Structure 1
Amino acid sequence: MDNSFWAFIALVLFFVIVWYAKAFPKMGKALDDHGNRVRRELDEARALKEEAKTQLAEYQRRSHEAEREAQAIVAAATREAEAILTDARRRNEEYVTRRTQMAEAKIAQAEAEAIAEVKATAVDLAIAAAGRVIAEKSAHGESGRFIDQSLGEIRQRLN
């Protein structure tokens, strides 16, 4: 009877005690419960994975939609800015044209006024000179009245 015999007896005695205490069904039940729990957790993990995939697909779809929408907004803003710029250029050109026309009209008016003033001054000088020449050549009397009347008619016609 050596040590291996006593080890064998101890092993048999251990199995008898385990069988008597009904540990095998309890261990089987515990292993089955553990297996079921692992199976449920795997099922939950698969469901969560599928949900994550759907959420990812939804996120990507929304991201693409947002990107297209942003591009549309940028394109609309660009078109609007170009329209505003074109309108501003057109208005600026119209403003410059109006101001140029107004300046040209003022210049023409000033030129006409200057010419009229020069003509009036020339007429006055010519009348005064003619009056002096005629007055010097003619006698003071009846002819002076005709001269004044003639000078008045000349002023009316030249002005």
Structure 2
Amino acid sequence: MNLDPNAWVAVSFFLFVLAVFKPAKKAVLSGLDKKIDQIKAEIEEAQGLREEAEALLASYHRKQREALQEAETIVSRAQDDAAKLRIEAEVSIEAALKRQEELATEKILQLEAAAISRIQNMAVDLAIDATEKILGDRLTGKQGKELAENSIADLGKRF
């Protein structure tokens, strides 16, 4: 066989690769299998972490919705309570105003009655004084004095 030296180098390289490849094949395949198993484990761990993160996210979304519903409920209750308090305050104010109006009306009636009583007393006093003067001027002596005193005593009984 007459081969040129380049061909011999190629054949010897090919034989060397075959000789080295068989034992190295097991080591390379074993290393690749280990790397594949490691990558599979990392992928499974990542999937587990992803599922856990999705579950946490769903839980937080649910809690957020519940918190929003609770906040809406609290706001609704507060508005209802405020409306009730406003109505109660209006009723209370109306009752207080009515009481004050009744007290003012009663006070006015009392003042009116007192004024009427004073006017009547003044009228009686004026009538008595006028009667005394008229009778005193017209009736003289003992007869006039007795009539005036009896009339005055009688007026006091009538009023």
TM-score range, shorter chain: 0.7 to 0.9
2:83 alignment partner in structure 1: 82
The amino acid that maps onto 1:28 is: L
Measure the CA separation in 2 of the matches of 1:94 and 1:116: 32
Scaled by the length of structure 1, what TM-score is found? 0.87
Determine if the alignment matches structure 1 residue 96 to structure 2 residue 97. Answer: yes
Tell whether 2:130 aligns with 1:124.
no
TM-fit CA distance, 1:65: 1.7
Q: Write the distance in 2 (CA, Å) between the matches of 1:156 and 1:8.
A: 164
- Please give the alpha-carbon distance, in whole angstroms, between the structure 1 residues aligned to 2:124 and 2:151: 14
| CA–CA separation in structure 1 for the residues paired with 2:6 and 2:154 | 167
The equivalent position to 2:9 in structure 1, one of 1, 6, 9, is 6
Asked which structure has the greater RCO (Cα within 8 Å, sep 6+), the reply is: 1
Cα distance in 1 for partners of 2:69, 2:49 equals 30
Which shows bigger deviation, 66-75 or 96-105?
66-75
Report the alpha carbon displacement of residue 87 of structure 1 after superposing the two structures with TM.
0.3
RMSD after superposition? 1.9
1:127 touches 1:151 (CA, 8 Å); kept in 2?
yes
Q: 2:141 and 2:117 mapped to 1: Cα distance?
A: 34
- Structure 2, gaps ≥5 residues long: none
TM-score (norm 2): 0.87
Kindly provide the amino acid, as one letter, of the partner of residue 68 in structure 2. Answer: E
8 Å contact kept, 2:135–2:144: no
Is the contact between residue 132 and residue 148 of structure 2 (CA under 8 Å) also seen in structure 1?
Answer: yes
3-state SS of 1:141 partner: helix
Measured against aligned partners, the alpha-carbon deviations of 1:108-144 in whole angstroms (never above 9, x if no partner) come to 1111111111111011011100110001111122430
Deviation at 1:61, TM superposition (A): 1.9
Shift of 1:8: 4.5
Bigger drift between 142-151 and 124-133 goes to 142-151
Contact kept, 8 Å, 1:127 with 1:155, in 2: the verdict is: no
CA positional deviation for 1:57:
2.0
Q: Who is 2:112 aligned against?
A: 111
Structure-2 separation of matches of 1:27 and 1:66: 57
Which amino acid in the other structure matches residue 124 of structure 1?
D
How many residue pairs end up in the alignment?
156
Identity %: 29
Q: Which residues of structure 1 form unaligned runs of 5+?
A: none
